[in-house]
Each structure stands twice: as C-alpha cells, then as structure tokens.
Amino acid sequence: GEAYWGLGVTDVVEKLKPRLVGEDPMEVDRLWTRMMRLMSGPGSIAGTTVAAISGIEIALLDLVGKHLKTPVYQLLGGKFRNRIRIYADSHAESLRDIDAWQERALQVRERGFDAIKFDLDTIAPELQLDNYNRTLTNRAIRRMVEIVRAVREVLGPDVELALDCHWSYNVTDAIRLAQALEPFYLLWLEDPTPPENAEAMAQVCAATSTPICTGENLYTRHGFRPLIEKGGCHIIQPDIPRCGGLLESKRIADLADIYYIPFAAHNVCSPVGTVASAHVCAAIRTFLVLEFHSQDIPWWDAVVAREDDPLIKNGYLTLSDKPGLGVELNDEVCRQHVQAGTLYFGEAV
C-alpha cells in the first residue's frame, strides 16, 4: 500500500502493527473498522491517522487479490472501464510571463495529455494587496484572465483545462473569479474558498457556470457528507489513498452519485498509490479523471517493476489483470530514493 503525506504516518502504522499481526487479512472492512475505532482517541476523523489506516487497507486489498488470484478492481465490484483517463498537474514556479505559460501548456499537450491543470493562485502574487485577507484585486483577476486566455488559445477548445486556487479566496471574490473565467469553459475551478465550510462553497457553486471541484483534504464519507448534501461542489475530488482507502472512496463516490456529482481523484502518489487509485477509478460509475503530479520526475515509473513502460501512456493508465494491485516494487530503485535517515522495510540502505 501507500500511506503518505503527513508527519507521523509511519508512527501510526507501527502503532497498529501489533493489533493486526495474527488477524485474518481477508476481513478487510472489519479490520479497517477496528483500526478506526482503536485510533479514535488520537483522532480517526481526519488527518495522519486516516492516511495511515488507508495505506494499510490498500495493502490488505493487494494481499486479498493475490490470495484470490484476482485484480483489486474485482474486489470493488468489477470495472466499468479498462483505461483510466489521467490529467497532468502542470504547475511550475518559473511560470512568470505569458510565453512561459503557453510553452508549458504545449509541452504537456505534446506529452499526450488532453486534460491539464495549472495553479491559479500563484499567477499574480505581486498584484495582491494582502497575503491573508482572502481578497482578489481587480488587477489580479485581470491578470489571471489574461493568462488563462493565452493558455486556452494555444491548447485550443478541446484540451480540458482545470485551475487550482488552494482555498485562497472569500466567497464574493471567488464568485467574481469563477464568473470571469466562464468564457474559457474550464474542466473545473478547484478549491476557490477554504475547505471547511460547505455552505460557503455552495454559494460559489450556485453563482457560476464554471464547475467547482473540491475535496482533496476531506476524510471519510462523514467528511464529504455536508459538501455533497449542501451542494458544495459540482465535481468531487477525494484523495483516494488518504481519505480512507479504496472501499471508503467507493462509498464516497456512491454518496456523491446520489446527487449525480462526478468523481475526479486527487493524486500526488508514487506509482503504488496511483495504481491503487486507478482500481477505484475503474470500479466507480461516475469517474471523470485521475491526477498525475509527477510528470517531471524521471524515475517515477521505475519505482515499480513492470513489463510495459511507462505506466501512463498518451494520457491514460491501463490496468493490468494481474492479481492484487498488479504492481511490485523495484527494490533497487526504491532504495536509491529512500528519504535520508529512514529505513526501507526495516533495513538500513
């Protein structure tokens, strides 16, 4: 599995180890429930604890799949699709002038992606009057529109374009921004207002035809319920290996599907978490697109030993029918990239 992102994730995994050793790994949902109950004191509503339990759950499902000689997507109800559509996160700190933005957009399109995401909130920091008050100046909105127009121009009308705001703005300015971007037919505008207030996000959603997408830092079906029930997003974006794991992500997708909300998965994982996410994306009806955050890391693919190369081709990830997740770690490559001061499965590198 992949248990990631958040200080202390490995500590939680170690803490749970004695409670899991000797258990029947086939009873995935019972063990998940047991881990969540055991960790309710330290906090199993959200954060590091849920991320750690999610990683263990992914490993259990890989084990069950191997034991039953079947891919993980079969354990989730079977697949709707073989190929998982991928979008490329394409942010780059160096994008300061319009030419650089256009060049980057073309580079990503030439790599075969027909859906691309950029960070929007970093476009015009020098045009902001204040770093903390969540406001957008007219100048900043104008600059954002200018750059988005230029990117749309080189991409053409049919490459899908998403833009991320990282929870930056107040409701009024988020609405002004979303409306100003309506002519560009975005795939979505991501996290325009802070993440903890579904009612505020719902006000933005109700005021614009630009699709609003959110959810990357929410956890479990309970974390997503207010957002879904209050109309706080047009597209839901769970981080599958962090929000509760594979079965919980399917439950979140099913909850959102009651309101016909599409599912776009947030993902900044290694190939292990990415492929685990892809199994869920195959097995839910409402899947839209899965994120790829590592297009500029040359050794990303080599983390897993596999026959086909690379894992993502022309904007798609095709799941194999091998048992479990269908990928195995390449120990040699992994050892080369172990974080300084940490161990590789208990061994020094």
Please report, as ranges, the residues that interact with Mg ion according to CB under 5 A: 164
Query: Smallest gap, in angstroms, from Cβ of residue 144 to Mg ion?
Result: 16
Cβ atoms 211, 234 nearer than 8 A? yes
Query: Smallest gap, in angstroms, from Cβ of residue 266 to Mg ion?
Result: 6
| CA angle, 341 then 343 then 347, to 5° | 135
Cβ-based nearer residue to Mg ion, 114 or 164: 164
Say how far residue 18 (Cα) sits from the centre of its chain: 30
Cβ atoms 276, 240 nearer than 8 A? yes
- CA distances in angstroms from 93 to 113, 120, 245, 249, 306, listed in the order given: 20, 11, 31, 31, 32
Query: Smallest gap, in angstroms, from Cβ of residue 239 to Mg ion?
Result: 9
**Phi, psi angles (nearest 5°) of residue 119:** -80, 130
Query: Smallest gap, in angstroms, from Cβ of residue 241 to Mg ion?
Result: 15
Cβ-based nearer residue to Mg ion, 165 or 171: 165
Cβ-based nearer residue to Mg ion, 44 or 168: 168
Query: Smallest gap, in angstroms, from Cβ of residue 164 to Mg ion?
Result: 4
Cβ atoms 237, 267 nearer than 8 A? no
Query: Smallest gap, in angstroms, from Cβ of residue 219 to Mg ion?
Result: 15
Cβ atoms 289, 89 nearer than 8 A? no
Query: Smallest gap, in angstroms, from Cβ of residue 242 to Mg ion?
Result: 13
**Among all residues, whose Cβ is closest to Mg ion?**
164
The alpha carbon dihedral of 247, 250, 256, 258 has a sign of negative
Cβ-based nearer residue to Mg ion, 160 or 164: 164
Cβ-based nearer residue to Mg ion, 208 or 267: 267
Query: Smallest gap, in angstroms, from Cβ of residue 32 to Mg ion?
Result: 26
- Provide the β-strand partners of residue 89: 117
Cβ-based nearer residue to Mg ion, 164 or 301: 164
